[in-house]
């Protein structure tokens, strides 16, 4: 019995589909039609088996249909071959996205409320970089840290942009101007501004600390690799 079920499951899909169609016709056609073909006695005798076969074939077709859809979705989400990067290429790209080639200038400007427009606009590049990198298992800790860095990066940008305006190639924070505030709203607005100031500066600190951790991990794993980006190999501390 079980052997026959296994054999049925192993049938090619086109055969299962054909069986499904035949069982559907035999089970759901009007009695007048089966009577015309003199199938009534045959139907009464084997109707139970027709029902079981119908359910089995329907289940097999449904399962294969679901698997087909899942595989299609996976293929859509998988990076195309020309988009796949090795981890070394990822670090080179990450160095450009985060403007690490001139870190001292970036961090000095950021502490005073000025952030380069390119840094803000690189969010999509960072996300695409994460999805297209092939990571060896031994670098799981670095992959995890880069994912965390992406979150800290997005969090900083999100908070900072709540009260920033574009300038020439930069974004700058809007200063709290007490002279333009009405007396009734002054205390409330000042409190909101101070709270926001603390939040964006803390977000910047979290981003820098996470980046520093990544660089420490990178030095640990790649210090002896000639192909590793100089930016990450030489910048060990961030004040």
Q: Is the pLDDT of residue 9 over 70?
A: no
Same domain, 165 and 194: yes
pTM: 0.57
Same domain, 96 and 164: yes
String of DSSP letters for the chain: -HHHHHHHHTS-HHHHHHHHHHHHHHHHS-HHHHHHTT-HHHHHHHHHHHHHHHHHHHHHHHHHHHHHHHHHHHHHHSPPGGG-B-HHHHHHHHHHHTTGGGHHHHHHHHHTTEEEHHHHTTHHHHHHHHHTB---GGGHHHHHHHHHHHHHHHHHHHHHGGGEEE-SSEEEEPPP-GGGS-HHHHHHHHHHHHHHHHHHHHHHHHHHHHHHHHHHHHHHHHTT-TTS-HHHHH-----
* Percentage of the chain lying above the pLDDT 90 cut: 15
Domain boundary among the residues 77, 96, 124 is at 77
- Is there a domain that residue 110 lies in? yes
- Is there a domain that residue 239 lies in? no
Q: Is the pLDDT of residue 100 over 90?
A: no
Same domain, 39 and 100: no
Containing domain of residue 46, as a range?
A: 2-77
Nearest Cα neighbor of 131 from 176, 187, 105, 93 is 93
Cα gap 102→80, rounded to integer Å: 32
Same domain, 90 and 190: yes
Tokens representing 177 are 């101007």
Using one digit for the tens of pLDDT, what is the confidence trace for 175-197? 876 555 555 677 788 888 889 99
Using one digit for the tens of pLDDT, what is the confidence trace for 152-168? 999 999 999 999 888 88
Number of structural domains (the chain) is 2
Q: What pLDDT shows up at residue 235?
A: 42
Same domain, 211 and 154: yes
Cα gap 224→162, rounded to integer Å: 42
Domain boundary among the residues 36, 60, 77 is at 77
Q: What pLDDT shows up at residue 62?
A: 87
Partnered with residue 166 across adjacent β-strands are 171
- Is there a domain that residue 94 lies in? yes
Domain boundary among the residues 77, 92, 113 is at 77
Tokens 């298992």 map to which residue?
137
Same domain, 136 and 104: yes
Same domain, 88 and 65: no
């Amino acid at each position: 019995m079980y052997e026959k079920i296994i054999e049925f499951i192993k049938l090619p899909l086109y055969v299962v589909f054909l069986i499904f169609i035949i069982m559907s016709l035999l089970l759901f056609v009007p009695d007048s039609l089966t009577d015309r073909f003199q199938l009534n006695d045959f139907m009464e005798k084997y109707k139970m088996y027709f029902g079981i076969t119908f359910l089995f074939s329907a289940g097999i077709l449904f399962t294969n249909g679901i698997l087909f859809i899942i595989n299609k979705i996976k293929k859509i989400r998988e990076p195309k071959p020309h988009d796949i990067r090795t981890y070394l290429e990822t670090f080179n790209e990450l160095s450009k996205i985060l403007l690490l080639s001139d870190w001292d200038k970036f961090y000095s400007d950021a502490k005073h409320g000025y952030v380069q427009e390119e840094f803000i606009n690189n969010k999509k590049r960072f996300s695409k970089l994460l999805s297209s990198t092939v990571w060896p298992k031994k670098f799981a800790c670095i992959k995890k840290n880069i994912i965390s860095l992406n979150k800290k990066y997005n969090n900083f940008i999100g908070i900072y942009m709540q009260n920033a305006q574009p300038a020439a190639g930069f974004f700058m924070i809007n200063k709290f101007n007490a002279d333009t505030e009405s007396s009734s709203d002054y205390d409330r607005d000042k409190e909101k501004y101070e709270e926001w100031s603390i939040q964006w500066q803390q977000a910047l600190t979290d981003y820098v600390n996470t980046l520093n951790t990544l660089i420490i991990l990178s030095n640990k794993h790649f210090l002896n690799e000639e192909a590793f980006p100089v930016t990450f190999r030489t910048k060990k501390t961030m004040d």
